[in-house]
Structure 1
Amino acid sequence: MVAATVAVGVLLVGALAAAVWFGYGWAHAALSEKPAAEARESALADARQAAINLNSFDAANLDKSFSDIESSITGALVEDLNATRDQLAQQTQQTGARSESEVLGASLTSLNTDDGTADAIVVLATDTSWPNETSRKVRVTMRLTMEEGDDGVWRASKSVNLGNAAVLEESPAAPPQDPAASDPDQGVPAPESDAGGR
């Protein structure tokens, strides 16, 4: 009887130890997975926003356009922007272009919460228009390398376009009214030939 009691006691102790161990393991896994899940959500959301900001601009409001870009980049991309900002501003002002982007799909391909780094693939539809010229919507696929800042915001340190942009829509704007068009005595210059010949 004593032996049986001891055996039962050993089994109970073993069962209790197992329960404590597995309970600890479950709780530890839950606590460790939660920050990882939150980091994944934050990194993906910030990658989506970075892709939008990098592909959106407005010649009529370049200060905001550059401010949006700066809020989403870090490292080498900041250096690249600083080196080309004046040139980009001049080109955009000359064309009067305006571009808006929306995310069609995005996913993280890697995440390292210890290093605070992640890689993301983002697919965008970017709609660009020019005054009195063609408006064009294209599909762009980007690979972004993201880094988490001290403020908890993930920013792009590297951006690479994957393949060529695919045209989704293209619509020429209506040509401006020419007063000379109604007067047969007023000549209208012929469009230049692409071939450069006559």
Structure 2
Amino acid sequence: MPTRRERTLRVIKGAKAGAPGRPVQRRLVTRPVLAPATRIEEVLERLDEEPVEDPTEVGDLTVVGDPAEVEDLPSPAEEPPVTDRAKTAGPAADRPAEEPAGQAAGPGRRRALVALLVVLLAAALAGAGVYGHRWYVDRATEQARQGALAAAKQASVNFVSVSAASVDRDLQRITAGATGDFKDEFTRGQAQVRTAVVENKVDSQGTVLRAGLVSGDRHRAVVLVAVDATVKNVKAPDGRPSHYRIQLDLVRDRDSGAWLVTKLQFVG
């Protein structure tokens, strides 16, 4: 029985790799070693001359010798592939860090939010501009109508309030509030009106009872005015009441903005 030292371990190179997907097997061959009297050269010569069968499925190394003395060699299948080792090797700092999805999408969401706020702000400003313009137009139109109504009341009072003692001033006041056809017509008959007021010693004072806007905008208006007056003359020295309904057409002067009478007529 050979001793432990007399046994030998021989590694046969050139083994073929195992088939893909199948575990790698080891082929262990135990050969008895000749007695110490045999020369080592003869043993090696015999080993070289003996044919060795190619293992069908072996790993990178084929081991011969005593199985008890052969340490388990790592199987290639147990080792991670080269590519996997390359991935797992090295410090974690060498591998690029994955960017969180929230951070990658953050700038895009911020830009979308800013764009939405800009659109909403533009819409709000546009709506405010439209509303502001309408409010301005409505307010300006209402102010113009009120101005036309006040001018019509004053013009009606001026027209029926004439006194022989202040005839020239009274007639001038009527002319100053007129324009267009009405001014031309009143100016042509102003001398006759003055003569009649002075000769009959007329003293008439009027007050407005009611007034209403028939139509009107910022440039033109039609107003109805109800006026009561007390008229004194040579035939009625104590005075007699008179009631008038006057329709006035007015236009707004572009330069001064004042409302002027273009037409005056008694109605009803």
TM-score when normalising by structure 1: 0.70
Give the paired residue count. 161
Counterpart CA distance in 1 for 2:180 and 2:155 is 14
- Report the equivalent of 1:176: none
Identity of aligned residues (%): 26
**1:171 paired residue number:** none
CA deviations 1:160-198 (Å, max 9, x no partner) are 1111xxxxxxxxxxxxxxxxxxxxxxxxxxxxxxxxxxx
SS in structure 2 of the partner of residue 57 of structure 1: coil
Letter of the 1:92 partner, please give it: V
Separation in 2, partners of 1:147, 1:122? 16
2:183 paired with 1:78: yes
Moved over 3 A (4+): 5-18
Matched, 1:118 2:205: no
Q: Relative contact order (alpha carbons < 8 A, sep ≥ 6): 1 or 2 greater?
A: 1
Hey, what does 1:67 align to over in structure 2?
172
Q: Point out the structure with max Rg over C-alpha.
A: 2
State the AA in 1 paired with 2:175. Answer: E
What is aligned with 1:57?
162
- State the Cα distance separating 1:138 from its structure 2 match: 2.2
| Corresponding position of 2:240 | 136
CA RMSD of aligned residues (A): 2.4
SS in 2 for 1:96: coil
Query: Of Structure 1 and Structure 2, which has the larger fraction of its residues in strand?
Result: 1
Q: CA deviation at 1:122?
A: 1.0
CA contact (8 A) 2:145 2:217 kept: no
In the TM superposition, what is the alpha-carbon distance from 1:159 to its structure 2 partner? 0.7
Instruction: Indicate if the aligned counterparts of 1:49 and 1:72 stay in contact, CA closer than 8 A.
Output: no
TM-score, normalised on structure 2?
Answer: 0.53
- Is the aligned partner of 1:145 residue 2:249? yes
Counterpart code for 2:184: E
Per-residue CA shift, 1:20-50, capped at 9, x if unaligned? 2221122112222232222222211111111
CA offset digits 1:118-154 (Å, max 9, x no partner): 1111111111112472512222111100011221111
Instruction: Point out where structure 2 has 5 or more consecutive residues left out of the alignment.
Output: 1-101
